[in-house]
Amino acid sequence: MRTKDCIPSNIKDYLKKYFYLILTYSLRKSAVERKFEALIDKLKKNVPDIRYQYSSFEVNNLYLETKVRNLHAFQISLLTDVIDEFKNPVIVDIGDSAGSHLQYIKGIYSEKKNIRSLSVNLDMEAVKRIKEKGFEAIQSRVEDLQNYNINADVFLCFETLEHLMSPCSFLHELTENTNAKYLVITVPYLKKSRVGLHHIRRNDEEIVQAENTHIFELSPGDWKLIIRHSGWDIVNEDICLQYQKRSLYRFTKPLWRKYDFEGFYGMILKRDKTWSSRYLDW
Q: Which residues of 223-245 are buried (b: 16+ CB within 10 A; e: fewer)?
A: bbeebbebbbebbeebebbbbbe
CA distances from 63 to 79, 174, 178, 206 (A): 25, 35, 39, 25
Q: Are 264 and 186 in contact (CB under 8 A)?
A: yes
Q: How confident is the model at residue 259 (pLDDT cuts 50, 70, 90)?
A: very high
Question: Positive or negative CA dihedral for 194, 277, 143, 135?
Answer: positive
Q: What is the DSSP string of 173-233?
A: HHHHH---SEEEEEEEE-SS-EE--HHHHTT--S---GGG---EE--HHHHHHHHHHTTEE
Residue 53 identity (one-letter amino acid): Q
Model pLDDT, residue 1: 41
What are the domain boundaries of the chain? 7-278
Residue 249 pLDDT > 90, yes or no? no
List Cβ<8 Å contacts ≥24 apart for 221-227.
222/193, 223/161, 223/187, 223/265, 223/267, 226/167, 226/168, 226/171, 227/171, 227/267, 227/269
Q: What is the pLDDT of residues 98-157, one digit of tens each?
A: 999 999 999 998 776 689 999 999 999 999 999 999 999 999 988 788 788 888 999 999
Q: How confident is the model at residue 245 (pLDDT cuts 50, 70, 90)?
A: confident
Model pLDDT, residue 214: 95
Percent with pLDDT over 90 in the chain? 77
Model pLDDT, residue 190: 97
Model pLDDT, residue 50: 97
Comparing 246 with 174, which gets the higher pLDDT?
174
CA distance 74 to 90: 21
Residue 9 pLDDT > 70, yes or no? no
Q: What is the DSSP string of 86-123?
A: -SS-EEEEET-SSSHHHHHHHHHTTT-TT-EEEEEES-
Q: Are 104 and 134 in contact (CB under 8 A)?
A: no
Model pLDDT, residue 8: 54
Percent with pLDDT over 70 in the chain? 96
Burial (CB < 10 A; 0-12, 13-18, 19+), residue 203, is: exposed
Give the mean pLDDT of 251-268.
95
Q: What is the pLDDT of residues 145-189, one digit of tens each?
A: 878 888 899 999 999 999 999 999 999 999 998 989 999 999 999
Instruction: Specify the CATH superfamily of domain 7-278.
Output: Vaccinia Virus protein VP39 (3.40.50.150)
Model pLDDT, residue 3: 46
Model pLDDT, residue 148: 83
Model pLDDT, residue 16: 87
Q: Which residues pair with 67 in a beta bridge?
A: none
Model pLDDT, residue 211: 84
Q: List Cβ neighbours of 185 (8 Å cut-off, separation of 6 or more).
A: 157, 158, 160, 161, 266, 267, 269
Q: How confident is the model at residue 19 (pLDDT cuts 50, 70, 90)?
A: very high
Model pLDDT, residue 145: 80
3-state helix, strand, coil in the chain (%, to 5): 45, 20, 35
Q: What is the pLDDT of residues 217-237, one digit of tens each?
A: 999 999 999 999 999 999 999
Give me the chain's average pLDDT, please. 92
Residue 143 identity (one-letter amino acid): E
